[in-house]
Amino acid sequence: MLRPAALALSIALAAAALPAAAQDHDCVVRQFATAKNVVNLEPVGIVDGIYPPDTERAYAFARLDCSQVGQGGETFWFHWMHNDREVAKSKARVDISHNWRIWSQSRIFPGDWAVLLKDGEGRLQAEQRFVFTKPDDTAPAN
């Protein structure tokens, strides 16, 4: 029977022996924002909480710092939630970089929204919430 210290060492050595693809990534989300657009891999018109009523699409942008990922990169997922129900999901591949940028877009309609960024293991890495309302079409014009 292994003593606790020997057991811990055995576990640590086994983890170190795993192929790179099976180890966790070390990616850190440096920026996560919702925006009106993404141009040249940069968010344009950052939205803080409320999208303008003339908006048709919302964009989610993430800037990651990764110095270790598995062979072939790491997969991240954008989950678009409308009124607590997932309505869209898109994936993005991430590789080693101190400035890796990924983004996703979705058509939006009135309601409460959240965009979740999860890694390939399903762990939440970042979240942004916003509201989108259309102007009342029945209101009289001034």
Average pLDDT over residues 103-129: 96
Q: What is the pLDDT of residue 4?
A: 43
95 vs 59, 83, 102, CA distance in Å? 21, 32, 11
> Do 109 and 116 form a contact (C-beta atoms < 8 A)?
no
Q: Which amino acid is at 52?
A: P
User: Containing domain of residue 51, as a range?
Assistant: 20-132
> Do 72 and 21 form a contact (C-beta atoms < 8 A)?
yes
> Do 110 and 131 form a contact (C-beta atoms < 8 A)?
no
Q: What is the pLDDT of residue 56?
A: 93
pLDDT digits (tens, 9 = 90+) for 73-103: 899 999 999 999 999 999 999 999 999 999 9
* Domain count for the chain: 1
Is 8 a member of any domain?
no
Is 3 a member of any domain?
no
Q: What is the pLDDT of residue 26?
A: 87
Half-sphere exposure of 78 (CA within 13 A, CB side): 26
Is 95 a member of any domain?
yes
Is 14 a member of any domain?
no
pLDDT digits (tens, 9 = 90+) for 15-41: 333 333 444 678 999 999 999 999 999
Q: What is the pLDDT of residue 24?
A: 67
Q: What is the pLDDT of residue 141?
A: 52
Q: Is pLDDT at 8 greater than 90 in this prediction?
A: no
